[in-house]
Amino acid sequence: MKRRDLIIIGAGPAGLSAAIEAAQYGLDVVVYDENALPGGQLFKQIHKFFGSKEHRARERGFRIGQQLLEEAGRAGVEVVLGAQVIGLYDGLIVQVVRGDRIERVRANAVVIATGASENMVPFPGWTLPGVIGAGAAQTMANLHGVRPGNDLLMVGCGNVGVVVAYQMLQAGCRVQAMIDASRAIGGYGVHAAKVARTGVPFFLGHTILQAEGDGKVESATIAQVDERWQPVPGTEKTFAVDTICLAVGLTPATQLSRMAGCTMINLPGLGGLVPATAQNGATSVPGLYVAGDAGGIEEASSAMIRGRLAGLAAARRQGFADSQAAESRGQELHESLDRLRGGPFGERIRAAEELMHKALEKEAACQTA
């Protein structure tokens, strides 16, 4: 059985950042990713990041992804594509499918950076061709140059909804409406304003009732909701659309962390069930770390910092990083993450992490009792 200093599962922003950070200290690092191309969600993001220069503001996601890949190459990181990790045993034994072979590799440390999956909302007609996730629409347009449809309804006005809606307009789609059950736009105002300036109407406090069509989506009906989130009769509106995009949140990919026996905690503020982790991404399983959306839904900027914290922790655990220098670097990364979470969008993250850390402390107390 092969042995590696560090195995990282997932070549997205969190995984690549963890790999780069760890490799800088001399670790032998391999990154497994099941996709044909590395970079995760970054290469779908043609918009400029929002925020401060420190956190890559005014840089486009796909350019950041390319920079990470180049940096990983210079650091000597091995990125293995088309490699599907199907098992994580005894904490640090990774079982991976490569082509027609199944391999087992033992690691001194593992970082799970498998991202998240899109949520779906069931409603009459939701299985018709033309009902897709907003991320799927983004993949079609930005990676493959395929327009998802001509006339589109966007369900969800969070960051994903407003960003993807604008990108669909850029791709030549006609966005007939934006709807959200909430009575406030959840995404950044700067992104929502770009969509609104094109004349797209926003229907807040509305939900989708059904999709109609003969073998495919041909129209969609929405309605206003009351304070109990129930449709209000008589408020129905129907739009002639061939595509319904669902931007209704993400769920962390926790299959491997659950398989490894990590302590799990349900935190709606982070997307649901997640592994309880310390600030450096360490789980309750020694040597196993989680970074990025696999440990709680945030933005790509957060994922990259959390990835670097996990890579640094893996290096420190194995004695590769000088204690004093690593302490200083860790402090620098934590302060950067705190600044990123400083606004109102960070409140739910801070509250959820406080509950998470308490769960880990309780677990440790039980083990020593």
Residue-wise pLDDT tens digits, 190-203:
889 999 999 999 99
Cβ–Cβ under 8 Å, residues 42 and 62 = yes
Name the residue with higher pLDDT: 194 or 45.
Answer: 194
How far are the Cα atoms of 86, 108, 295, 331 from residue 80, in angstroms, in the given order?
A: 15, 18, 22, 31
Burial classification of residue 255, based on how many CB atoms lie within 10 Å of its CB (0-12 exposed, 13-18 middle, 19 or more buried): middle
The type of residue at 188 is Y
Is the distance from CB of 105 to CB of 53 less than 8 angstroms? Answer: no
> Cα–Cα distance between 296 and 305 in angstroms, integer?
13
- Residue of 186, 205, 200, 191 whose CA lies nearest to 239: 200
Q: Which residues contact 364 (CB under 8 A, 6 or more apart)?
A: none
Show me where the domains of the chain are located.
Answer: 2-117+250-368, 126-246
Q: How confident is the model at residue 45 (pLDDT cuts 50, 70, 90)?
A: low
Find how far residue 194's CA is from the centre of its chain: 23
pLDDT band at residue 20, thresholds of 50, 70 and 90? very high
Q: Is the pLDDT of residue 222 over 70?
A: yes
Fill in the DSSP letter of residue 224.
E
Residue 337's alpha-carbon distances to 300, 331, 334, in angstroms, are 12, 10, 5
Q: What is the pLDDT of residue 275?
A: 95
| Fold match between domain 2-117+250-368 and domain 126-246 | yes
pLDDT in tens, 84-142: 999 999 879 999 999 999 999 999 999 999 999 999 999 999 999 999 999 999 989 98
- Give dist(CA 52, CA 107) in Å, integer: 36
Confidence of residue 369 (pLDDT cuts 50, 70, 90): very low
Q: Span 5-18, mean pLDDT?
A: 95
Span of 139-143, 226-230, 365-369 with lowest mean pLDDT: 365-369
CA distance linking residue 247 with residue 240, whole number of Å:
19
Instruction: Check whether 55 has a pLDDT greater than 70.
Output: no
Contact 24, 51 (CB under 8 A): no
The tokens for 131 are 């009902």
Homologous superfamily (CATH) for 2-117+250-368: FAD/NAD(P)-binding domain (3.50.50.60)
Please tell us whether the domain made up of 126-246 is placed in CATH 3.20.170.30: no
Q: Helices in the chain by DSSP H: which ranges?
A: 13-23, 61-74, 134-138, 159-170, 189-196, 255-259, 300-317, 323-340, 347-368
In terms of pLDDT, which residue wins out, 39 or 251? 251
Cα–Cα distance for residue pair 128/336, rounded to 1 Å: 44
Q: What pTM, to 2 d.p., does this model score?
A: 0.89
Which residues, at least 6 apart from 300, have a Cβ–Cβ distance to it below 8 Å? 13, 41, 42, 45, 49, 61, 64
